[in-house]
Structure 1
């Protein structure tokens, strides 16, 4: 087990109708003026916007607002949000939505405290030194950004998708009512389930030794998500299943399931080139395609770990020898993704081999290899895309 720091300061307000408490919650922290940040039209169609505004007005909390956050949030809108936050001198960013809105809000929180362009942080040219506090009302169980220290943006000038990490952008609080996810479409629910699982799978498949506690935590979370995912796809209004997914979303990406292990997030970095270059692709859909392909490429060098995953999570019989079980676990995971309505091949995303070289080059940047339990060079990355095609 490696040395580690664990920091998860976000206060969770969980349960039915907790979003109606947003005014009193903000007031108890002493904030006077906020930026209300949200996505497209669903916040108003569902009545959530009206309930939030009523609660804020009741507590006499001033606010300005900026909607329009897209999936794969764009740096251009973040720049507008930063200008607004500075001009209005807000003291809290309230992000209402899923990972895209939260990441946009986090970036705004950093940008409001600096004169530097926010994209420089995404390109790792600068590290945040200060940020406004961020509050969250979560409406999609997926990215885990409500508890994480990460923030990912897309630059539409060059279609690069890049992120940065900082404990300064971990939200101050998160309001989590599973009922707010009842209206999420089947496809987006499926994308969310994959994303939740991937944040733990990327931590679980580590080359670090003696990480038993986090391994068991990861296996338990994955099994719970698989079962809750099945129930949610069958019945979108299953409160308990939605609640399980919402909590799993948060604790899959706050570091808990990877304590003591080395973190690479190789598949995420590959997927960022897919949904970065092809903005129509949902992040979870891209992960559903690429993770099984990556796993098929590397598993023979980590038979023990992949076999354990097969036995413990995918219910492969322990009578099956380890190497066969390892592959069977990957195949069963891929079939599970399909059962959620997820694509498992790049062709389903209308992406063919003509893009593979460019995606590989973008993934590498200026490096010769992409870090992972097996470092990948350009040729190897293209081979993974070939498996996924």
Structure 2
């Protein structure tokens, strides 16, 4: 196990009707004026936005509103938000929604206090040293942004989709998590969330770091819980217990708990970021295509942890033929994704002839000559993984 620092100060307020506490919590954390950030009309139609506003007013806290955040959030909305936040002199960002809304709010929170272009943080030109406080009312369990210091934004000029990780500054000060708010999610969106949270765990699980048994078991147990609960939610969207377990799993998957002490990979996420940036697909759906392809490539290059995953998570019988064991585990993963209505090939994703050269060129232009850590991928390796994602076996 490697040396590590784990810092996770977020206050999680979990359960039924917890959104009614947003005003009290915002006041507790020193807010005077809150900028509410949201996406489309669902938070309006459901009455959630009105409940949040009422709670803030009852606590004596002013607010302003910025809606219209889109999936795969883009830089233009961040620039708009930075200007609006400065004019309104808000001192806390309150995203009400899922990962795209939260990531946008985090980017705004960092950009408001910076004299330059917020994109400098994403390209490594500057470091986030301070930011406005961010709090969350979560409606979509998927990205885990309610418990992480991470944010992903796409720059429209060049379709450059990059991530930023600043846990010491951008973790939310509090996150409200009411599983009831997820009852009306469309099945496909629920399934994409499941793929996203599983991918967050697997990016940490597939590591070459030795003696990380605690991390391995946390990853395996959380994956098994997700695999158990997801079909229940798909069958009964208002199964509170299963919704609650999935919501908490999404947070555990990405707040860093599962990855302490190990070198993480993240190649699959970077491979997928190019797909969703260029083709505009849902991130979780892209991951359900890329992750099995990445694992299939790894069977021939670093099989050990893939075989362990197959045995411990999917119950494949252990044998001396690790390659066969690993491939059976991958097959079970693909079957699980398919059972949720998720794609497992480019064609199923709606992309008949992906431009593999463009995807790989953009990936390595953004991330460098070598990508990932479990096996460091060259451009040729990345192309082969994209090709494997075209094959349905």
- Which band: TM-score by shorter chain? over 0.9
| CA–CA separation in structure 2 for the residues paired with 1:148 and 1:263 | 15
| CA–CA separation in structure 2 for the residues paired with 1:228 and 1:314 | 15
Partner of 1:110: 110
Report matched runs for 1:342-361 at 5 Å: 342-361=342-361
Partner of 1:327: 327
| CA–CA separation in structure 2 for the residues paired with 1:348 and 1:108 | 35
1:255-292 deviation per Cα after TM superposition (whole angstroms, max 9, x unaligned): 1111111012000000000001112x000000000000
- Count residues in correspondence: 388
Partner of 2:145: 145
Partner of 2:172: 171
SS state of the match for residue 56, structure 1?
Answer: helix
Which sections of structure 1, spanning at least 5 residues, go unmatched?
none
The 1:224/1:354 distance shift into structure 2, 3 A limit, reads closer
Greater mean alpha carbon deviation, residues 68-77 or residues 27-36: 27-36
Q: Compute the TM-score of the two structures, normalised by the length of structure 2.
A: 0.96
| CA–CA separation in structure 2 for the residues paired with 1:348 and 1:241 | 27
SS state of the match for residue 347, structure 1?
Answer: coil
Contact 2:263 2:373 in 1 (8 A): no
| CA–CA separation in structure 2 for the residues paired with 1:202 and 1:71 | 22
Partner of 2:256: 255
Partner of 1:305: 305
| CA–CA separation in structure 1 for the residues paired with 2:268 and 2:212 | 21
The alpha carbon displacement at 1:14 in A equals 0.4
SS state of the match for residue 77, structure 1?
Answer: helix
The root-mean-square deviation of aligned C-alpha atoms, in Å, is: 1.2
Partner of 2:75: 75
| CA–CA separation in structure 2 for the residues paired with 1:354 and 1:171 | 37
Contact 1:143 1:195 in 2 (8 A): yes
SS state of the match for residue 164, structure 2?
Answer: strand
Q: Compute the TM-score of the two structures, normalised by the length of structure 1.
A: 0.97
The alpha carbon displacement at 1:152 in A equals 0.4
| CA–CA separation in structure 2 for the residues paired with 1:79 and 1:39 | 16
The alpha carbon displacement at 1:352 in A equals 4.2
SS state of the match for residue 273, structure 1?
Answer: helix
Partner of 1:338: 338
Which sections of structure 2, spanning at least 5 residues, go unmatched?
none
The alpha carbon displacement at 1:315 in A equals 1.5
| CA–CA separation in structure 2 for the residues paired with 1:373 and 1:63 | 45
Contact 2:29 2:173 in 1 (8 A): no
Partner of 2:88: 88
Contact 1:353 1:386 in 2 (8 A): no
SS state of the match for residue 65, structure 2?
Answer: strand
Contact 1:200 1:218 in 2 (8 A): yes
Contact 1:122 1:163 in 2 (8 A): yes
1:41-83 deviation per Cα after TM superposition (whole angstroms, max 9, x unaligned): 0001111011111111112210111000100011101111111
| CA–CA separation in structure 1 for the residues paired with 2:320 and 2:333 | 17
Partner of 2:32: 32
The alpha carbon displacement at 1:354 in A equals 5.0
| CA–CA separation in structure 2 for the residues paired with 1:133 and 1:239 | 30
| CA–CA separation in structure 2 for the residues paired with 1:127 and 1:382 | 32
| CA–CA separation in structure 2 for the residues paired with 1:206 and 1:319 | 21
| CA–CA separation in structure 2 for the residues paired with 1:350 and 1:192 | 19
| CA–CA separation in structure 2 for the residues paired with 1:371 and 1:303 | 16
| CA–CA separation in structure 1 for the residues paired with 2:233 and 2:16 | 17
Report matched runs for 1:155-234 at 5 Å: 155-167=155-167, 168-234=169-235
1:148-206 deviation per Cα after TM superposition (whole angstroms, max 9, x unaligned): 11110011221111121112101100000000001111000000000010000010001
| CA–CA separation in structure 2 for the residues paired with 1:195 and 1:362 | 22
